[in-house]
Each structure stands twice: as C-alpha cells, then as structure tokens.
Amino acid sequence: MTEERYPINIWVNEERYEKLKAAGLADLCEEMLAGMKVIRVYADEAQKNEILRRFPTAKFDSATTKSIELLPREVKDRIFHKVVEKKSVEILGEFLEED
Amino acid sequence: MAEIGHGGKEIRERILAPEEAAAKVRGLPRIPVRSQIANEIIDIAYGWFCPLEGFMGQEDVEAVCSRMRLKDGTVWSIPILFDLSQEEVAEHGIKVGDSLCLTYHDQPMAILEVEEIFTYDKGAMCQAIYGTTEEKHPGCARTYGYKDVFLAGPVTLVNRPVINPPFEPYFIPPLEMRKRFREKGWQRIVAHQTRNVPHTGHEWLMKGAWLQTYAELPIEKPLVGVLVNAIIGEKRKGDYIDEAIILTQDELKKAGYFGDHNHMTSLTFWDMRYAGPKEAVFHAILRTNLGLTHHMFGRDHAGVGTYYGPYDAHRLLATVQDELSITPVYSMNWLYCPHCGEITSEGLCNHRDEWQKFSGTVIRSIVQDGVKPPRLIFRPEVFELVLECAEKYGFGSPFVTDEYLAKRTPVFTIPPLQA
C-alpha cells in the first residue's frame, strides 16, 4: 500500500510561473480553483506532523482538500525557491533538514 | 410602537440617562469586567438578548441546560453568566441586594443589581450545552475558565460605548435596526452570520438565501434584504482581523455585487461558543431581536471540529420552530464548476467529478500567499481591500497576529462618565 501524501499548495502568479518555466517545471502546475494555478509539494505523514509542529499557524485541511495550508508566506517563498533551485518538487525532506 | 422581541416580550433598552448615571454609581463597589462580559452587557442593555434583563440566575441556567429554555419556558440555548471568584466576593463583601458598578478599562459601564449568588457544576453545563466535557472544545474551555461563583440580576448601562473607527457605522442596535428596515421598506430580511472575509461562495450563499426568502412576494419594488451580521468578539491567532471582515462584507454592496436596496452590514458583539446546534438556536434569537424574519443556516453552523453533524443544527431548530419568530433558510454549498464555467450550487450541478469546492482554509492560504485570485473566486475589490486592511489595521497581515492582539485599537471604548 502506498503511503498517504499531503500536498502543500503553492499558488502560482505570473512571476512564479516564469521561474517554473525556466526550471522546466511549468508542466507540474495544476489548475485548482477557477483557473488558478498551483504547484504541489508533497509531505509524508511524518513530514506533515513536523510541519504542523514547527509552524503553529499552519493547518491541515482535513475536511475539503486534505492539504497543508496557512504556512507563513516567507516559508512558502523559501519552499518555492527550493523547488526552483532543485528543479524538483521532491524537496521537503531537504527543506526541513536545512530549516 | 412597541417593538416585540424574542419570547413575545417588548424590547426596551436598559440605559440610564447621562444626567442620572454619575449619581447612581457613586459609592458602589467597582468591579472590573473582561471583554466577554462587556460585550454581553451591551447585548443585554440594547436588547440583543431580549427577554433577558441581566445575568442569569440558577433556575434559568438549570432550565437552559436541561430543557433549552428559561425558567418561564421561553426557548434559550446558551447560559449568560457573570462570574467572580470567592475571594472577590469576600473582598468586596458582596451579598444579595447589593448594587455593583461594573467597570471596563477603569471606566464605569453598568450597574448590576445582585439578586442571587450561586455556584454551578461546570462539567454538567458543558455536557448539556456542548455535548462534551472535553477541554479542547472552545466552549468548554470558556466554561471551565469561569471563576467559581455566579452573580445574577438585572443590568443597566450607565455609559454608552464609543464605537471606534472603522466600526461605528456597523453598530446598529435592535431598536435602530428595526427602524432602518422600515425605512427601507423591507418586508423580509434574511441574516447572514459571518466571521469571514467573503469569497464568492459566501456571496452566493447570500444571493441564494435572498432568492429563497423572496419566494412569493411581488417583485415590483425591493421587499427583501440580506443583513450581514458579523460576530465581533474574542479573536484567535490566524482569524481574519475584524476590520477586514466588516469592511469587505460592506464592500460587496459598495462595489455593486449587491446594492442599498437589498444589502446591509452590521455587527453583534459576542464571543463565539462554537456550540453548533445550540448556538444556531441562539443566533436565531439574536437575529429575531434585531428584527430579522429569516436566518440562513448552512452545514455545521457554528460548529467546531467533528463535535456536531452537518445538519444537527437544522434538526434542533425544527424542534422549536413554532416558538421562534424567525424562519430558517437552509443553504446548500456553492462551488465552482469548470464545466459550467460558473459558481453553482451542489444541489443544481451534476458535474460532480469536476467540482472545485471552496475551502475557507484554501482561500485564506491564497490571500496569505498574496497571489491575486480570479474574480470568479474572490472579487478584486474585496481582495484589494483585504490587502489595504492588512496595512492599515493588521500590522502587515490580514490575519490576527500577536502584534495585532497587543496593539489593535479596541472595537469600542467606554468614555469617562460625565459628572
């Protein structure tokens, strides 16, 4: 059985889209709400719990989207920069180790 | 003309004239109150809590807990309590028959005539009202936080609160509200309870409720209004700031998504108990006193976590419907359907596999990221105003932070009493 994974939704405006395009990741963008683009970085159960512990304002939306929401903007910015730097969305383990 | 409120009782403001107030409070023991109690004093004095004239006595509390009624049989679902510690009672020598001057931020606010002093089992109260005794339920936490002794008796305001900007236009007490409804010519008014900045899912909840409420009435002139009644009370970190809530709700009208002919925004001071079904009944009572004829209830109204089923509130309301003077309007969720290319109701659209549901948390996450959402989801005027409120009132954030809690301008202050 595959382990459950929980997305962090990083909302993508034009500026972010250009950076993702340059990193070859534009195809990973999905449309989530009325055409609004999002790129998803996934956490496993342990990483999800660690994120919720480390950033108390964050919330797991168990009711609707099963995603980790309300991370501080600067944390999301740093996650986004890590995605672009590593040209991958599989960066959460490294991000948590470095943070 | 007498204004009749909940339970068939006339709404009468309990407010002393300024020329009487100073003499009445002179020499009385001064008891400071916290914001929750100050909010409830305002609610009692202006008639939001009609037929209550003061804080509840033991028989009323017992009846509310056991039968969801006051001792006289009037439907009532949440205890309204004034608490003190044994030490405070002893220190001031408070006894039945005394009058106390209740102060807020050191200014005289109200007189409490003590008719009864009693204790009550807080665990039993939690079980009766919230259906649980768990401390993690915010209503239980508030109940366990009460001090040990309760004082009951009538309350009279001696000093009207000064409502600070930007809230002052939205403080419309029951008697004034009813006057405004008459001036507008509205025959039916439906309440939208909120603690949120509106996304289009909320906007359509209101529009749907307006259509439901309009029903068979003639359409030659506007006869139905939506009253957005924002609950203003204790804030938790991560909530939207109060200023953003009240101003963006009003912005829906100002920007033309509604108009003066069908929409008004106001506030009620109340610290949410998250009592789910019991709180739904309580909200129905508050809005009856404000003069509303209809009240919108969605899924899990005023609930928290998984304590209540999504339609428990609807079922409880049905048991007392004949005794309430307000008609419930039940609302299905609104969502975005990419196939339809529009906001639609889950009761209408059948592209179920394509539905993109609104999640308040996800919307807040978009706002937090500062990425402008499409107008189908979040009106641009509302989004711009949220950002403006963050700068003007929120110390850079549209959400409550420690800094906001410490430094914000209070919604109301009590001025010095005129000599």
Strands of the sheet with B334-337, listed across from one edge: B342-345, B334-337, B356-357
- Tracing tokens 């975005």 back to the chain, one arrives at B336
Using only C-alpha atoms, chain B has a radius of gyration, in whole angstroms, of: 22
Same domain membership, residue B202 and residue B113: no
Tokens of A38: 């999002």
First CA to last CA across chain A, in angstroms? 30
Grade residue A59 by pLDDT with cuts at 50, 70 and 90.
Answer: confident
pLDDT at A72: 86
Residues B99 and B173 in one domain: no
Any B CB within 8 A of A70 CB = yes
Q: Which residue has the higher pLDDT, B275 or B236?
A: B275
**Cα(A46)–Cα(A42) distance, rounded to whole angstroms?**
12
B234 and B272: one domain?
yes
In a shared domain, residues B136 and B202? no
CB contact under 8 A, B371 and A72: no
pLDDT of residue A2: 67
| Cβ pair B376:A65 closer than 8 A | no
Contact in structure between B311 and B332 (CB atoms under 8 Å): no
pLDDT exceeds 80 at position B419: no
Contacts of B196 (CB under 8 A, 6+ apart): B202, B240, B245, B360
What per-residue confidence (pLDDT) applies to B410? 96
Query: B198 and B151, same structural domain?
Result: no
Report the distance separating Cα B261 and Cα B186, nearest Å: 9
Do B109 and B251 share a domain, yes or no?
no
Q: What is the pLDDT of residue B363?
A: 87
Last residue of a domain, one of B105, B133, B160: B160
Nearest Cα residue to B189 out of B295, B314, B328, B324 = B295
Please state, rounded to an integer, the average pLDDT across all residues of chain B: 96
B277-289 and B312-320 are packed helices; what angle lies between their axes, rounded to 10 degrees? 50
Whether the CB of A34 is below 8 Å from some CB of chain B: the reply is yes
* Phi, psi of B379, rounded to the nearest 5 degrees: -65, 135
Inter-chain residue contact B376 with A10, CB threshold 8 Å: no
ipTM score assigned to the predicted complex: 0.81
Residue of A nearest to B237 (CA): A57
Closest CA to B229 of B156, B158, B302: B302
- Residue B419 belongs to a domain: no
The pLDDT assigned to A14 comes to 85
User: B138 preceded by cis ω (within 30°)?
Assistant: no
Lowest average pLDDT, out of A61-75, B48-62, B99-113, goes to A61-75
Is residue B385 scored above 90 in pLDDT?
Answer: yes
- The pair of structure tokens assigned to B76 is 């009532």
Distance CA B36, CA A60 (A): 29
Q: Is A9 on the interface with B (CB under 8 A)?
A: yes
Is B28's Cβ below 8 Å from some Cβ in A?
Answer: no
Q: What is the CATH number of the domain that holds B328?
A: 3.40.50.620
Residue where a domain terminates, one of B98, B130, B160? B160
For residue B382, being part of any structural domain is answered with yes
Highest-pLDDT range among A1-10, A49-58, B208-217: B208-217
- The mean pLDDT of A53-74, rounded to a whole number, is 85
| Residue B128 sits in the same domain as residue B210 | no
Residues B139 and B185 in one domain: no
Residue B159: pLDDT band (50, 70, 90) is: very high
pLDDT at A1 over 70: no
* Inter-residue contact B15 to B58 (CB < 8 Å): no
Q: Is-contact B222 B261, C-beta < 8 A?
A: yes
Q: Is residue B319 part of a domain?
A: yes
Q: Which pLDDT score is estimated for B321? A: 97
Which residues of chain B are within 8 Å of residue A76 when distances are taken between CB atoms?
Answer: 368-369
Average pLDDT for residues A43-50, to the nearest whole number?
94
* A35 to chain B: closest CA residue: B374
Number of structural domains (chain B) is: 2
Residue B380 counted as domain residue:
yes
Domain membership of residue B21 as a residue range: 6-160
In a domain, B295, yes or no: yes
Q: What is the pLDDT of residue B248?
A: 98
B93 lies within 8 A of chain A by CB: no
Nearest to B249 by CA among B299, B193, B165: B193
Q: Which residue in chain A has the smallest CA separation from B201?
A: A33
Q: How many CA atoms lie within 13 A of A9 on its CB side?
A: 29
For residue B1, tell me if it sits in a domain. Answer: no
Q: Pick the residue of B362, B363, B367 with the most A CBs within 10 A to test the interface with A by mutation.
A: B362
Task: Report the alpha-carbon distance of residue B253 to residue B245 in Å, rounded.
Answer: 14
B418: confidence class by pLDDT, cuts 50, 70, 90: confident
* CA count, 13 A, side-chain hemisphere, B415: 11
What pLDDT digit, counting tens, does each position of B114-132 carry?
999 999 999 999 999 999 9
In B, which residues are within 8 Å of A16 by CB distance?
A: 371
Same domain, yes or no: B51 and B197:
no
Same domain flag for B188 and B330: yes
Asked if B371 lies within 8 A of A12 by C-beta distance, the reply is yes
Identify all chain B residues contacting A31, using CB atoms and an 8 Å cutoff: 338
Which of B160, B180, B198 corresponds to the end of one domain? B160
What's the 3-state SS for B126-163?
HHHHHCCCCCCCHHHHHHHHCCCEEEEEEEEECCCCEE
Whether residue B142 is found in the same domain as residue B236: no
How does pLDDT run across B400-416, given as a tens digit for each residue?
999 999 999 999 999 99
Query: Residues B273-280: what's their mean pLDDT?
Result: 98
Residue B127: give its domain's CATH number: 3.10.400.10
pLDDT > 90? residue B358: no
Check whether A99 has a pLDDT greater than 80.
Answer: no
- pLDDT computed for residue B156 by the predictor: 98
Taking the C-alpha atoms of residue B185 and residue B187, their distance in angstroms, rounded to an integer, is 6
Name the burial class of residue B90, with classes exposed (0-12), middle (13-18) and buried (19+) by CB atoms within 10 angstroms of its CB. exposed
For residues B248 and B107, state if they share a domain: no
The β-bridge partners of B321 are none
- Beta-strand (E) ranges in B233-293? 263-269
Per-residue confidence band for B192, with pLDDT thresholds at 50, 70 and 90: very high
The vertex-B71 CA angle with B69 and B76, nearest 5°, equals 25
Asked if A75 is an interface residue toward chain B (Cβ–Cβ < 8 A), one would say: no
Query: Is the pLDDT higher at B215 or at A58?
Result: B215
